[in-house]
Amino acid sequence: MGWSRLSNGELLDAAEKEFDVLITTDQALRTQQNLSGRKLAVLILPFASWPRLKPNAQTIVSHVTALRAGEYAELHL
């Protein structure tokens, strides 16, 4: 999508225009960015390794579907 050049704040703005949920592994996002007033829901995963995430795919999907606009959640697997 050409977003690699965007800073974190700009990335959140762009994502909010296109998506309802941002899934990331950036553990520091909440402390680095002001998330108040955002419509974008954010889910933080503990790691990016697909082999480690795959057995937990249903748990991840459940968390994503439960998130509401502007919510922030960290998934601990």
The answer to whether residue 2 scores a pLDDT higher than 90 is no
Distance from C-alpha of 71 to C-alpha of 43, rounded to nearest angstrom:
8
Domain ranges of the chain: 3-74
Q: Determine the average pLDDT of the residues in 3-18.
A: 90
pLDDT of residue 66: 97
**What does DSSP say about strands 41-44 and 72-74: parallel, antiparallel, or unpaired?**
parallel
**Other beta carbons less than 10 A from residue 33's beta carbon:** 16
pLDDT of residue 41: 96
Question: In angstroms, how far is CA 53 from the centroid of its own chain?
Answer: 15
The answer to whether residue 8 scores a pLDDT higher than 90 is no
- Tell me the pLDDT tens digit for each residue of 18-75: 999 999 999 999 898 989 999 999 999 999 999 999 999 999 999 999 999 999 999 9
Distance from C-alpha of 60 to C-alpha of 45, rounded to nearest angstrom:
8
